[in-house]
Amino acid sequence: MNLSLVAVLALTLVSICVAQYKSIPLLLAERTAWKPNDGAPKQPWRSRPPLLRKPIRRPVPSRQPYKQLLENLRQRYPRPKEVLREHYQQQVRDFNLTASAKDVKLRNYFDTLYSGLITIGTPEQQFDVAFDTGSPMTWVPSIHCPPEHFGYKYRTYNNASSSTFQANGKEFEAVYDLGFVAGYRSQDTVTVAGLTIQNQTFGEAIIESDLFSNSRTDGVFGLGFSNEEPTVFDNLVNQGLLPAPVFSFYLNKLDIPGPDSVLTLGGTNPEYYTGDFTFINLTATDRWQFEIDNFRVQLSNGDVLFMGSGSPAIVDSSTSLIFGPMEEVDVLNRKLGAKPLPGHVSLFEFDCSELDSLPDFEFYVNGQKLSISSKDYVLKIFLYGTDLCYSGIMGRRWKESETPVWFLGLNFMRAYYIQFDKGNRRIGFAKPKY
Ligand SMILES: *[C@@H]1O[C@H](CO)[C@@H](O)[C@H](O)[C@H]1NC(C)=O
Ligand SMILES: *[C@@H]1O[C@H](CO)[C@@H](O)[C@H](O)[C@H]1NC(C)=O
Ligand SMILES: *[C@@H]1O[C@H](CO)[C@@H](O)[C@H](O)[C@H]1NC(C)=O
Ligand SMILES: *[C@@H]1O[C@H](CO)[C@@H](O)[C@H](O)[C@H]1NC(C)=O
């Protein structure tokens, strides 16, 4: 893990894990609908023994905000658990595992997280991972982590049953705002979309904070930039398995009919977009980042709000929503008519009947306009027997020493078919077909 990325990763992956910020419904789904490990005793992080040689001390993420929110929701929408379970299962689209080569089919969880399958080892051990443009490291849980540390997970990598395993042993640590994972590196064969990468270094997670151990996915597939060993994507390119150092995302929306979400490795898939790409050059060498000239919203009364001039923005596939500076974003949400959710920092809710009248979010980048409509930026989720509509933009505070970096998460990405062109250091946007 490149620790200089820690600040950048501040919000990365939160969507997998929820807690203070978002994806509340996701965690609810985790807790009610999917519990293969029901029998395993859950231990609080604090009581876990240090398993690495060097104990890692990090602030324990607070679960309080999440608990409060959950309680608020329960009081507002009391429903029996069985009914909920059905709703969750209906909302999580079925996942067809026979994807064609180079396409990775992605499973959509409540529009807040997309994951797909990879394998590690010989014979293959399968893992469900989140594909993360915001971080470089690929990691999965290790069999050497005691099972009670894994929450709801059940897949672990077993080096002893892989004939292609090679020891590495160097520690890795991926630290995020609200959680972390740590363990050691190993090397093995990795397959993704039918492509086989040899001698791939990856992380075996030994310790995961609750945020990760409660996640529905097993691990993370890093599509970011690494200054250390080559990422899986780098090796796909280095080992000649891809025609071009490009990957592209088509992300579906649960309430709009269309094909399953797909990550295409090595190029773009014309089945999922129309027209030409608008390209924007990257403004950083180590992230999928460009600079926004302006973020503009024209309110229904004609007032125009501008913010974010000259701010860096990262296109981040493991953040559910858009994040900008808290004070300004909170003002915007209020002006749009959203109400703050009690007991929660910067999460706002819309009346679902008003979505059609909401204005577009417009990002101006390099003279080009990237526009997303309310049907994309509002996170609408059927939960507790009713639709809930969360504002798709949340505020975040940065330390004075940090540059405020906008995060353009999955709701932004759904509005476009997006190609990430590592060779030309640019990101391309096209109109999705669905
Ligand atoms: C999965 O996809 C393949 C190829 O597109 C198709 O032939 C097969 O019928 C699908 N299976 C299911 C269960 O939908
Ligand atoms: C698997 O990993 C464990 C812990 O790192 C190590 O002790 C063991 O030797 C490894 N197994 C093989 C077959 O190398
Ligand atoms: C992987 O490692 C093995 C053993 O060290 C070596 O023979 C092989 O050439 C390597 N393959 C690649 C693609 O680097
Ligand atoms: C983007 O980068 C390419 C190659 O470095 C360059 O030719 C092009 O002019 C740049 N485009 C803009 C709009 O800066």
Tell me how far the alpha carbon of residue 144 lies from the centroid of ligand 2, in angstroms. Answer: 9
Residues with CB under 6 A from ligand 2: 144, 159-160, 165, 167
The letter for the amino acid at 390 is: Y
Residue nearest to atom 11 of ligand 4 (CA): 281
Ligand 2: atom nearest CA of 204 is 5
Per domain, the residue ranges of the chain are 3-243, 249-432
* Inter-residue contact 175 to 1 (CB < 8 Å): yes
Measured from the alpha carbon of residue 95, the closest ligand is 1
Q: Is 128 assigned a catalytic role?
A: no
CB 52 within 8 A of CB 182: yes
pLDDT for 68: 52
371 near 298, Cβ under 8 Å?
A: no
Distance 257 CA to ligand 4 centre (A): 37
**What own/partner pairs with CB < 8 Å and gap ≥ 24 does 236-242 have?**
236/192, 236/195, 236/197, 236/265, 236/266, 237/422, 239/197, 239/198, 241/195, 241/196, 241/197, 241/266, 242/102, 242/195, 242/266, 242/267
Burial class (CB in 10 A: 0-12, 13-18, 19+), 254: middle
Q: Which two tokens stand for residue 276?
A: 């030409």
Can you say whether residue 302 is alpha, beta or left, with left for phi > 0 and alpha for psi between -120 and 50 degrees? left
Considering 103, 128, 132, 376, which one is annotated as catalytic? 132
The domain 3-243 having CATH identifier 2.40.70.10: the answer here is: yes
| Residue ranges in the chain whose pLDDT is less than 70 | 1-101, 146-154, 176-179, 209-216, 383-384
Q: CA angle, 54 as apex, 48 and 56 as ends, to 5°? A: 55
Assigned token pair, 266: 């090595």
Instruction: Kindly give the distance from the C-alpha atom of residue 179 to the centroid of ligand 2, in angstroms, as a whole number.
Output: 27
Closest residue CA from atom 13 of ligand 1: 96
Q: What tokens does 161 get?
A: 């049953």
**Under CATH, which number does the domain 249-432 receive?**
2.40.70.10
Alpha helix positions (H), 78-187: 81-91
Ligand 2 centroid–CA 141 distance in Å is: 15
Q: Indicate if 132 belongs to the active site.
A: yes
Within this chain, domains 3-243 and 249-432 share the same CATH topology: yes
